[in-house]
Amino acid sequence: MPYIIIVIILFFTFFYKQEVINEIKYVNRKTSTIETEKVAGEFYLKWLYYNPIGKISAKAIIKNRFVSEYYGKQMDKPKSKFKIPDFINKFGINLDESEKQYFDSFNDFFVRKLKNESRIIDLNEKTAVSPADGKILAFENIEETDSFFVKGKKFNLKTFFMNNEIYKKYEKASMLIIRLCPTDYHRYHFPVNGYVNADIKIDGNYYSVSPYAVKHNIDIYFNNKRSYSLINTDNFGDVVMAEIGATMVGAIIQTYQENSFIKKGEEKGFFKFGGSTVILFFEKGKIKIDSDLLSNSKKGLETQIYMGERIGEII
């Protein structure tokens, strides 16, 4: 009898899923239609974040940097390039946009550079642009995040910045979260013109940044590994640009020159294999975020966006 009970418990915990989100919906900005995201590793993400045993596994293993770094290193090995064709076919990657057509490893493909004409950068001095390809959430005031995340859960800026002076400056900030899926272009660029300071690095966990994980666990953003820098601008005040590590992200690589003048659209760095996130913080009253991005976010929907695409303008 005890064995039967044990089997039933194991069966239940393995197959039980707390289906908070069945699928990830987003708005295609070009067509204004709602579409369903094709998620790499969807079954495992649901199991890890909705299943009781999966949650234990996520806490014990997935958040650990050694697992993510190990897998990232595997993606650097030459034999990993044999994964590329299936990945391209399954997720419809447009390789015509890429400077290279042949790759030495999966990570070589993953961090590929695009041809200049593949992304059009809005160069109007009064606008800010998306720093990356991905799905974007926009909040005019950081305190409004429960329109997407669990009600009552707030983005903990103090923990995120680990710097009291910066935290106080952005308490009422406008915030834009750009989530990069494993299927996205994984280089990120500056959203504005200005002078960029040295990067501030903070160690942390490696939880997934998929909506399956963060919709009910907003603290992932301010507990995961991250880095951020301040961009001093003439039009937008001081803008914070942050990069968040996540499950299976081998590394956050900065390629920009610290303490230098930069132009909108210039590369800041790239993520090695995995899903990741870029977050922008604008001082209160410095940016008028595009209305469609705000409206979609209030409805609990991300908006598909591309690097260089307008996200707002100066007030």
- One of 133, 184, 199, 290 is an active-site residue; which one? 133
pLDDT for 231 equals 98
Active site residue 216: no
Active site residue 276: yes
pTM over 0.85: yes
Mean pLDDT over each residue of the chain, to the nearest integer: 86
Active site residue 57: no
- In angstroms, what CA-CA distances link 51 with 3, 90, 101? 22, 26, 40
- One of 68, 189, 199, 210 is an active-site residue; which one? 189
pLDDT for 285 equals 95
Pick the closest to residue 108 from 268, 272, 257 (CA basis): 272
Are 276 and 209 within 8 A, CB to CB? yes
pLDDT, tens digit (0-9, with 9 covering 90-100), for 118-172: 999 999 999 999 999 999 999 999 988 877 786 667 889 999 999 999 999 999 9
Where are the domains positioned within the chain? Answer: 75-118, 122-314
Cα–Cα distance for residue pair 285/294, rounded to 1 Å: 15
Give me the residue label for tokens 């979260």.
177
Pick the closest to residue 182 from 70, 82, 57, 93 (CA basis): 93
